[in-house]
Every structure is written in C-alpha cells, then in structure tokens.
Amino acid sequence: MKVVAVANQKGGVGKTTTAMNLSAALAIRGQRVLLIDLDPQANTTSGLGLDVDGEATVYPALLGQANVRDKIMASGRENLSVIPSHMDLAGVEIELARGDDHLVRLRTHLQGLKPNDLFDYCLLDTPPSLGVLMTSALAAADEILIPLQCEWFGLEGLAKIVHVIDQIRESGANPDLTLEGIVMTMFDGRTNLAKQVVDEVGNYFPDQLYRTVIPRTIRIGEAPSHAKTIFEHDPEGIGARAYYGLADEFLTRHAAVGPVLASN
C-alpha cells in the first residue's frame, strides 16, 4: 500500500476536490483505494455523501483508543473505502500536541495496514494548515502530491510546502518522504497567466509536474454539493476527462500495483 498525502497549506487550491476525484478515478481503474479525510472541515466526507459522528474518524485511533482498521467504512463506490472526518477532529490537534510521539502515531497505524494487503493506495486529504494533522500526514506518507492553483500566489505556497517537506525529512520523522508530483488546478487556457504559472513550475520541478492539468469548470465545483464525484455528476465532461487523465498518469508513474481497467 502506497500512502500519498494530498497536501497544500494554502486553502482553495482544489486539494479536497483532487483527493476525492483522484481516489474515485483510481478506484474506477480497478485500484483498491482507502481515502482518509484528515480535515476537520470534513469536505471530502460530505462530498461523498457520508454523514458520521466524531467516533467514526481517526480521532480515537490517534489517541490509542481504537484501531484505525476499525474506522474504515464503505463509500458506496466499488474499490473505494473511506475513513471519514468530523468537526470534532479539530480537538485532536490539542491532545496530540501533548505527546512526544504525536508525529508518528498516524504513521504507525498506517504501517499496520500495509501487511494486510487490503489496499493498493491510501490517499490522505489534509487540512489547509501547518498544524499537527498536516505534519502527522506528512510524517505518515510515502510521498506527497501537491495541488497548485494556476495563480502567482500559488507559487509562494509551493515554496512553503516544499520547505515543510524538507523539515519533516530533516527532523527524522520521515526521512524518506518524497515529492511525488505537482498537479496544476483551476487552469484557464484562455489566460496567459495560467500558462505562465504552469511553465514556471515546470522550470523548477520538471520531473514532478504532471502533464495533466485540471481545468476551471463549474461542474467540478458543484459536484460535491450533490454528494457526488465528478464521474457521477458529469461523467462525459472535461472535468471527468481531466481526472481520468490524472489517474492514468499517476498509475503510469507508479507502474500500477493492481489491475488497470481500460481508459474511458
């Protein structure tokens, strides 16, 4: 099981949208996916149509009161399982910070899932902050995927998250953490700015930048309000095609650990 943190400390960059739709696309492609919502705002959870209480989250597991495996639930979609979130998860940051081992607790739980061969990929939807939940996710992940909006301010956010990755490595909490990729989101091909930002990121991170870009489209934005992924809401639209393309590129990079169904 490969653990991938979908992270950016800046909000409004398409992080949750990417975590949710990439997970769904991978599942449709035949991969067994566990999506963990670590954001107390619980947008991934509500976007998938799940209604849970605080006990259904990773909160008890992080405090040593439960096994994370017991928190896994069905998403209602084939090959896609979820550990949901709830606003109560915000309280775990205060309690975790009191422990010396708070950075490695999530990592320990996820390492325990790997020998069971239940999943091919585990994606972590992280909060838009640099708090304990975000750093715990980075300490637990094998790699990080950064969604980045096509704006100049996004470049400043990229520099900060790369710095945090370096800090996590140097602290010893996760020395093997790698920057797997950068996904450009909210791309508007009609503007020179969007193209310039993509080019700029490509100049600094040529190997990490995904060729697939996620367009700015109303359908992607409105899908969660219907508790649907983009594939359920607008399966033939440009948003669905983009996330299928992202999943296919992701699988090519990872040499697909399981059976891959034909492209749409």
Q: Is the pLDDT of residue 259 over 80?
A: no
Contact, 42 vs 86, CB < 8 A? yes
Average pLDDT along the chain: 91
Q: Could you give the CA distance from residue 33 to residue 68 in angstroms, rounded to a whole number?
A: 15
State mean pLDDT over 100-129. 89
Domain ranges across the chain? 2-253
DSSP 138: H
Q: Which residue has the tokens 């669905």?
A: 240
CA angle 41, 46, 48 (to 5 degrees): 135
Cα dist. 158→4, 58, 244 in Å? 17, 27, 24
Q: Under CATH, to which class is 2-253 assigned?
A: alpha beta
Q: Which pTM was predicted?
A: 0.93
What's the whole-number mean pLDDT along residues 110-123? 91
How many CA atoms within 13 Å lie on the side-chain side of 61? 23
pLDDT at 123 over 80: yes
For residue range 170-208, list pLDDT tens digits in order: 988 899 999 999 999 998 878 888 889 999 999 999 999
- Residues 29-86: tens digit of each pLDDT: 999 999 999 999 999 999 999 988 878 899 998 888 899 999 999 999 999 999 999 9
